[in-house]
Amino acid sequence: MRIDLLYGEAMDTDTAERSALTVDGRTLSYVDFGGPGRPLLALHGHMSEGLSYAELAARLAPEWRVLAPDQRGHGESDRAADYSREGYLADLKALMDHLNLDRAALLGHSLGAINAYQFAARHPERVTALINAEGCAELGLDGSNPLAFVLNLPEGSAPDREAFVAQLGPFAPHFKSVVRERPDGTWGLHFHPQDIHDSEDQVHGDHWADWTGSTCPALLVRGAKGGVLPTEQAAQMVTRRPGTHLVELETDHFVYANDPAGFAAAVRDFLTTV
């Protein structure tokens, strides 16, 4: 099977196995890229999904077995009643319990990175290493929502892919790759725009206490050309959290999609020290 992804090129996912668990009556879907390696849980950002880590999983195999959930409201996971910080972290704990993982390395991008380091702060005994790709320690303190534009995307569905892509209008070049067939046979985005907007609102805040709240080895990856993590804040994140190593890649916010080789090399080199 090949699938087009918002964060990257079409990927071959034949080796990926999809499974699911039920959390508070919701389906939480996840992808297990398999292999004999040590477990690495990989958390995607807003509007992406677990399959976006297919290339990274291939590059890290066989030493690491990547497991990547579709976080609540994304991909094949159900929508949730809320997109609170505690809700995301409860899903991650439920997934680790379901997989019988007492401890694992955590990797996250953007939203997923904040979820990862907040989980590590609350459950330090369960996290062996932390990889933060473009996850700020503070963001949105001015009250703005950079994902407000998603409210202009269609919430509905269409009888076929082509009809829904037509509904996207000027957004089609950017979002046609994340149009999916739904269980009822209609087609639409694999997320709901209002959910994304609400989730972005609730991820904002001053999270310095959470960033500095764990002591496991950490890798901080910043996109030096258009990333959302400011240079000054990245430097402070390294200074204020002992055991943190910074790598800057000459790409934008979507570091693992737009520099897959550089990102995988940074992650692999870091994980050899764990």
Query: Average pLDDT in the 36-47 region?
Result: 98
Any domain includes 100: yes
pTM of the shown model? 0.94
* 104 inside domain: yes
Quick one: pLDDT at residue 246? 98
Residue 61 within any structural domain of the chain? yes
Cα–Cα distance list, 159 to 156, 174, 188 (Å): 11, 21, 9
Residue 247 lies in a domain: yes
- Residue 1, pLDDT > 50, answer no
Residue 165 is assigned to a structural domain of this protein = no
* In a domain? residue 169: no
pLDDT category at 11 given cuts 50, 70, 90 is very low
Domain of 228, CATH number, reads 3.40.50.1820
Residue 183 pLDDT: 85
Mean per-residue pLDDT, 231-238: 98
Q: What's the confidence (pLDDT) of residue 122? A: 98
Q: Where residue 6 falls among pLDDT bands split at 50, 70, 90?
A: low
**What tens digit of pLDDT does each residue of 178-228 get?**
999 988 999 999 999 999 999 999 999 999 999 999 999 999 999 999 999
Domain-located, residue 109: yes
pLDDT tens sequence across 50-96: 999 999 999 999 999 999 999 999 999 999 999 999 999 999 999 99
**Domain total for the chain?**
1
Instruction: Let me know if residue 132 belongs to a domain.
Output: yes
pLDDT for 13 equals 56
The whole-number average pLDDT for the span 16-41 is: 97
Query: Which residues, in sequence order, are CB contacts of 268 under 8 Å at separation 6+?
Result: 59, 60, 63
Range of the domain at 235: 17-143+204-272
